[in-house]
Amino acid sequence: MSDDSNTITSSDSYIKSTGIRCVNAVCALSFWREFIAYFFLGSMGLWLPPFLGASSANAVFDPMNVLTFGLVTLFIILEARLFMDKNDDAKSPGVTKLIVLLGVILLCIGYVKGVVTNGIPLLWGVSWVHISLFFTMLVWLLNHVNTSRYDPKGINEMLGGSV
């Protein structure tokens, strides 16, 4: 008996299914728990020293510190997507994998550019560091939301599986 009969594929577009998953994720406590762990607790090295008035802390978004935080975060996201089980995303894992891979490559360049330019603002006080951090959060969101755990629950799931 083939295991392919249990695989669910979606006829929805990638954007529509991602939007539905995003709404379901935002309503879930596990989403917020992981978001806080990644971007509040994980970035304590960026904001805590200046907050405490440490003499060695020059700025909240010091480019070298952001480079370290950003690269580690990106590679954790990439690892999670590349080694994800097939059942964790049955809708369109290839598209998300491609977006995450391209995002990681481009954002690595952005973080290095932030260090090279020493965090000098490009426009309206926004630097490569800020842009890279923002897009890292978007790549994390796209990767995190595009899992089967945020799929809409059908009648079969509510009853415990195939009936």
Tens digit of each residue's pLDDT (9 = 90 or more) over 26-85: 888 888 888 888 888 877 777 777 777 766 666 667 777 778 888 888 888 888 787 777
Task: Please give the pLDDT value at position 57.
Answer: 63
* Total of domains in the chain: 1
pLDDT at residue 4, rounded to an integer:
46
Across the range 78-107, mean pLDDT stands at 79
Is residue 102 included in any domain, yes or no?
A: yes
The segment with the largest mean pLDDT, out of 18-22, 47-51, 102-106, is 102-106
Q: What is the mean pLDDT of residues 117-138?
A: 80
User: What pLDDT was estimated at residue 37?
Assistant: 87
7 within a domain of the structure (yes/no): no
Whether 17 is covered by a domain: the verdict is yes
Please tell me the distance from the alpha carbon of residue 90 to that of residue 9, in angstroms, as a whole number: 6
- Within a domain: 33: yes
Q: Helix, strand or coil for residue 123?
A: strand
- The pLDDT value recorded for residue 90 is 67
Number of Cβ within a 10 Å radius of residue 140: 21
Span 93-114, average pLDDT: 83
In a domain, residue 60? The reply is yes
pLDDT level of residue 163 (50, 70, 90 thresholds): very low
What is the signed CA dihedral for 78, 40, 130, 84, rounded to 10 degrees?
Answer: 10
Note the helical H segments in the chain: 14-26, 29-36, 44-52, 63-82, 93-116, 128-145, 155-158
Assigned domain for 128 exists: yes
In a domain, 124, yes or no: yes
pLDDT for 6:
42
Asked whether residue 28 is domain-assigned, the answer is yes
In which domain, by residue range, is 127 found?
12-151
State the pLDDT at residue 5.
42
